[in-house]
Amino acid sequence: MMTKKPGRYFFAVMLGLLLNLPLSASLAASQPLFSTFDNKPANIADYITGNKWLLVVIWASDCSICNREAYTYVDFHFKHEDSDARVLGISIDGQAKKEAAESFIKRHDINFPNLIGEPDKIAGWFEKLTGQNWMGTPTFLLYSPDGKLRVQQIGTIPLALVEKFIQRNSVQKASAVEEVNHGS
Q: Where are the domains of the chain?
A: 35-157
Q: Which residue has the higher pLDDT, 131 or 2?
A: 131
Per-residue pLDDT at 33: 93
**CA dist., res. 66 & res. 104, Å (int):** 9
Segment among 21-25, 64-68, 94-98, 101-105 with least mean pLDDT: 21-25
Per-residue pLDDT at 18: 37
Q: Which residue has the higher pLDDT, 113 or 6?
A: 113
**CA dist., res. 15 & res. 32, Å (int):** 29
Using an 8 Å Cβ cutoff, are 149 and 141 in contact?
yes
Per-residue pLDDT at 85: 97
Q: Report the pLDDT averaged over residues 101-128.
A: 97
Using an 8 Å Cβ cutoff, are 94 and 63 in contact?
no
Per-residue pLDDT at 87: 98
Q: Does domain 35-157 have CATH number 1.10.30.50?
A: no
The beta strands (E) that lie in 77-124 are given as: 85-91, 114-116
Residue percentage of the chain with pLDDT more than 70: 76
Q: Which amino acid is at 63?
A: C
Is the pLDDT assigned to residue 27 strictly greater than 50?
A: no
